[in-house]
Amino acid sequence: MIAIDQHNLFSTPVWESQFDLENEKLEAYALSLKNRPGADISNIGGYQSLKINFNNESFNVLGPLINQINEMLFMISEKYNFRKTARVNELWININETGDYNMSHVHPGAVLSGVYYIKSNGTGTLDIIRSKQESYLWQSIVNENQNRETWSGTSFVPKPGKVVVFPSWVEHAVTPCEGQRISLAFNATF
């Protein structure tokens, strides 16, 4: 039998955690923004707030969440030996209703991006998508019984309190929701 060594090169880490926060307060804050002007960036339907300014009102509600996200970013920065610690530099609220979704996109200008789920019934998954060129090549040579290294993408099911962080250059999308899904998205830089 031939001995084979496998080297998994150029992997893309995606980090996931569960926070125990007062989501009712976060939900009330998110819904209060819905009457303000919003942004149309990747969302098809639904509401996407403008970038949230860090002021007394927003920090009183969002402070504990931002602190936990920054703690997670610190741990990631340490583990991967970043030159500096990544920290949240911008955030916004997404409110999707039945049928709303977010087109495939990336977050240029950031190092890490992520999402914290405030309210969800488990629909409107976050889809992480392998580059089209690499995906096409893998799909042309593997059968339907793929393993994790050859997947063209993967999905994260939203759950209140869950946070998912990924490199900002990774293509991602949100599938259509059934019911209301409220999340806080963020970018992090050095």
Buried b / exposed e over 69-79, threshold 16 CB at 10 Å, is bbebbeebbee
The tens digit of pLDDT for each residue in 92-144 reads: 999 999 999 999 999 999 999 999 999 999 999 999 987 666 655 656 666 66
- The HSE-up count of residue 150 (CA atoms within 13 Å, CB side) is 12
| The CATH number of the domain covering residues in 15-142+149-189 | 2.60.120.620
Residue 19 in tokens: 């926070």
Name, in order, each residue with C-beta under 8 angstroms of 152's C-beta and a sequence gap of 6 or more. 129, 130, 135, 138, 139
Residue 76 in tokens: 């990631």
Domain ranges (residues) in the chain: 15-142+149-189
pLDDT in the model for residue 10: 77
Percent of the chain residues topping a pLDDT of 70: 88
Q: pTM for the whole thing?
A: 0.90
CA distance 188 to 70: 9
pLDDT in the model for residue 172: 96
Confidence of residue 166 (pLDDT cuts 50, 70, 90): very high
pLDDT in the model for residue 51: 93
Average pLDDT of the chain, as a whole number = 90
